[in-house]
Amino acid sequence: MSKKHNFSAGPCILPQEVFEKSAQAILDFNGIGLSILEISHRSKDFVPVMEEARAIVKRLLKLGDDYEVVYLGGGASLQFLMVPFNLMKAENGKAAYLDTGTWAANAIKEAKHLGQVDVVASSKDENYSYIPKNYTVGEGYDYFHCTSNNTIYGTQMKTFPDVPTSLVCDMSSDIFSRVLDFSKFDLIYAGAQKNMGPAGVTMVCVKKDILGKTGRNIPSYLDYSLHIKKESMFNTPPVFPVYATLLTLQHLENNGGIAAAEIRNEAKAKLLYGEIDRNPMFETFCKEEDRSLMNVSFKLTDESKKEEFDNAWKAAGINGLNGHRSLGGYRASLYNALPIESVQVLVEVMNSIK
Amino acid sequence: MSKKHNFSAGPCILPQEVFEKSAQAILDFNGIGLSILEISHRSKDFVPVMEEARAIVKRLLKLGDDYEVVYLGGGASLQFLMVPFNLMKAENGKAAYLDTGTWAANAIKEAKHLGQVDVVASSKDENYSYIPKNYTVGEGYDYFHCTSNNTIYGTQMKTFPDVPTSLVCDMSSDIFSRVLDFSKFDLIYAGAQKNMGPAGVTMVCVKKDILGKTGRNIPSYLDYSLHIKKESMFNTPPVFPVYATLLTLQHLENNGGIAAAEIRNEAKAKLLYGEIDRNPMFETFCKEEDRSLMNVSFKLTDESKKEEFDNAWKAAGINGLNGHRSLGGYRASLYNALPIESVQVLVEVMNSIK
């Protein structure tokens, strides 16, 4: 079967080069006569992969030596717990959270295990259809946590607040997709399975000077400082996911970095939102000003057209367009690796629904 | 370069069929026109993979519906923490541990975060060169934890004690290698990267009725019951490592299961230990009765032969024979997928050292 147009929300499309190189590495890694799946993580063949996978993140985000990068297992969901373990003070710990969707709410839930959590603003009252804006983060918080992009609702933070504490951001679904001043953030984490690589590894990029200040005795696997000290080899890392992540980031670096990706992503989003705004058969779930460049969540204005539309996009070789089960409708994810040609095919299909 | 003889301690050799099938799945998974790396974990293509990966473990271990299997990220090191989180009572929690090596000691360290830990026996006094035997596990413990095989020291538990509490075992380095009455255990966990699959996923097999009894409010990712309820899809699982694990276990099932693997593993171990016992140039680190069938840790009796031996095994295409950095010497890991022909090559090289 020929290649599909893959709009999956994650795990999602990666560059074809990543598939080809990583498949080859499984058969014979770098011509050493061994598979990437069977070599020691401490071998001279894999250690440079981990080193470069850590270094390339800092190059792409334009961060200096005051930041460290580690790769961990457990997904962003484990980071919901690790962030407060590492940043919330053991005595009278207190953190501020912005509630912009399901994943933000999940992060809030885990932080409550370790201390006081104040939700400074929430858009839950309108089913997360917008990004709250007029809120203040007061003094006395150990950190402020936000979620840059909300895959389910199709909203994205366009700016980030100035806060009088550490700024922590879950960038799982839009990291490496747009130019930001990443030095504004003290801790960024991201499950790899969108713009970074395949499922099975999570990247954490942290400003070193915010660690070690909680007075908390942190269990080993949950301790960022230990992972940093061990250069992301505290225990056996997810070797293949880290390697495929490196390939994905090398592909990004070789194709103009984040700035060039942003231009491509804006063109894809403009094309699709343009069709939604033009075509009375479709509408988005969220406020226009908060629309995500990564996940376009939309619905039919006339539900009786559902069968016709579903048959049409499936016939066009489109995959992964169903909306999240909690919201329904459709969701077109326009991650870095999705070519604009796939968006053109989708727009043509949408244009045919009258 | 031609295929090497891979004695790596883990990640380690897997069946060649696993490399071929998993490389193909990266290029096109089951002929669906998408890579296994880019499909949703909730897609109709991956859900059956996870279901079968969970079911095959119970078939191979001959366990019934009173057990559940989940796949998690974070490695066995995260299980060192998850086990006490799920099994140690919130009030006056108390667990018994057997200290047979570095990994057992690491498990003990993490459990101390959550309650009282009694080490019922330890072989640390003799550098973990034997498995303690004459110990008793008294009443009143929430569980007893042991490590079935000690990769660094080359020791292995041949029998398991009858204990008046839940029996928990870290089988990371010898699961699926020998026939045991697995129903004796209440919780078995194993990092995949030895006999199960590639690095990046950990299997937990737990008897359901031991869960939910601690009175502890468990953070989501650390909660076995939640992962069971969500059928190992609480969050995005490590898709590719789970798939490669399924391929590895299918290969085992199609080749006679654990009973047949045990016969092959015994033959390999007999061949190598036979050479060590015959050849005065070599000796093991551990007591004969506790020798591991999986990891043969040994050293030269005459260190002046080191260069000659190192050059000889490298010239023979052998990989991964260096001992763990904490012990030195050599370590030949004879995991399920290692063919006896590789052991024959190693024995021939050892035989040439006089």
Q: What is the largest CA-CA distance in chain A?
A: 62
Is the CB of B314 inside 8 Å of chain A's CB atoms?
A: no
Same domain, A161 and A278: no
- Rounded (5°) CA angle B105-B107-B110: 110
By the CB < 8 Å criterion, does B19 face chain A?
yes
H helices present in chain B, as ranges = 16-27, 47-61, 75-87, 102-111, 224-229, 239-254, 257-278, 306-315, 340-351
Q: How many helices (H) and strands (E) does chain B have?
A: 9, 14
* Whole-complex ipTM: 0.97
Q: Flag whether B1 is in a domain.
A: no
Nearest to B11 among A38, A80, A109 (CB): A38
Across the interface, whether the CB atoms of B20 and A27 are under 8 A apart is answered yes
CA distance A349 to A346: 5
* Boundary of a domain, candidates B254, B275, B301: B254
Out of B254, B284, B313, a domain closes at: B254
* Structural domain contains residue A103: yes
Q: Answer with the one of B254, B275, B298 that is the final residue of a domain.
A: B254
Per residue in A321-351, pLDDT (tens digit) is 999 988 999 999 999 999 999 999 999 999 9
Same domain, A200 and A115: yes
Q: Are residues B177 and B78 in the same domain?
A: yes
SS3 B306: helix
Taking the CA of residue A287 as centre, how many other CA atoms within 13 Å lie in the half-sphere pointing to its CB? Answer: 15
Contact A200 B198 (CB under 8 A): no
Q: DSSP 3-state assignment of B284?
A: strand
pLDDT of res. A354:
84
For residues A88 and A214, the answer to whether their CB atoms sit within 8 Å is yes
Mean pLDDT of A120-147: 97
Q: Do A226 and A345 belong together in one domain? A: no
**DSSP 8-state assignment for residue A323:** P
Provide the pLDDT confidence category of residue A1 given band limits of 50, 70 and 90: very low
Residue A2 lies in a domain: no
Interface test with B, best of A1, A45, A221, A331 (most B CBs within 10 A): A221
| C-beta separation of A237 from A50 below 8 A | yes
Active site residue B99: no
List Cα–Cα distances, A149 to A106, A293, A327, B54, B82, in angstroms: 14, 9, 16, 33, 30
B238 contact A CB<8A: yes
Same domain, A116 and A133: yes
Interface residue B215 vs chain A (CB under 8 A)? no
A215-272: pLDDT as tens digits:
999 999 999 999 999 999 999 999 999 999 999 999 999 999 999 999 999 999 999 9
Which of A14, A26, A70, A151 is most worth mutating to test chain B (most B CB atoms within 10 A of its CB)?
Answer: A26
B75: left (phi over 0), alpha (psi -120 to 50) or beta: left
Establish if B294 belongs to a structural domain.
yes
Q: Is residue B3 part of a domain?
A: no
Q: For chain A, give me the number of helices (H) and strands (E)?
A: 9, 14
- Statement: residue B59 has pLDDT above 90: yes
CATH of the domain at A199: 3.40.640.10
- Residue A199: closest C-alpha in chain B: B238
Distance (Å, whole) CA A19 – CA A240: 12
Are both A209 and A268 inside the same structural domain?
no
Does residue B260 surpass a pLDDT of 70?
yes
A6 part of a folded domain? no
Q: Does B64 touch chain A if contact means CB atoms closer than 8 Å?
A: no
Please tell me whether A301 is known to bind a ligand: no
| pLDDT given at position A2 | 61
Q: What span, in angstroms and rounded, lies between the C-alpha atoms of B354 and B350?
A: 8
A294 CB near a chain B CB, below 8 Å? no
Interchain CB contact of A326 with B (< 8 Å): no
Look at the alpha carbons of A98, B234, A318, A17 in this order and tell me if their dihedral is positive or negative: positive
Q: Is A313 annotated as a binding residue?
A: no
* Count of structural domains within chain B: 2
* Cβ-Cβ contacts under 8 Å, A199 against chain B: 41, 236-240
Q: Are B235 and B115 members of one domain?
A: yes
Length of chain A: 354
Using CB atoms, pick whichever of A43, A200, A217 lies closest to residue B238.
A200
Nearest to A222 by CA among B114, B71, B100: B114
Indicate which of B17, B32, B37 best probes the interface with A, i.e. most A CBs within 10 Å of its own CB.
Answer: B37
Which of B22, B31, B193 faces A26 most closely, judged by CB atoms? B22
Residues A152 and A250 in one domain: yes
The answer to whether residues A109 and A243 belong to one domain is yes
- Domain limits for position B307: 257-351
- Residue contact B222–A43, C-beta within 8 A: no
Active site residue B313: no
User: Percent of chain A, pLDDT > 70?
Assistant: 99
Nearest chain B Cα distance for residue A76, angstroms: 8
Is A9 inside a domain boundary? Answer: no
Residue of A nearest to B198 (CA): A37
| A90 touching B (Cβ < 8 Å) | no
Question: What pLDDT sits at residue A213?
Answer: 97
Do B237 and B158 lie in one domain? The reply is yes
Task: Based on the fold, state whether residues B239 and B283 are members of the same structural domain.
Answer: no
Same domain, yes or no: A275 and A327: yes
Q: d(Cα B307, Cα B197) in Å, to the nearest integer?
A: 33
The alpha-carbon gap from B75 to the nearest alpha carbon of chain A, in Å, equals: 7
Residue B212 is assigned to a structural domain of this protein: yes
Contact A13, A335 (CB under 8 A): yes
Q: pLDDT by residue (tens digit) across A106-121?
A: 999 999 999 999 999 9
> Counting beta carbons within 10 angstroms of the beta carbon of residue B326, is it exposed (0 to 12), middle (13 to 18) or buried (19 or more)?
exposed
Alpha-carbon distance values, B63 to B54, B206, B227 (Å): 12, 10, 19
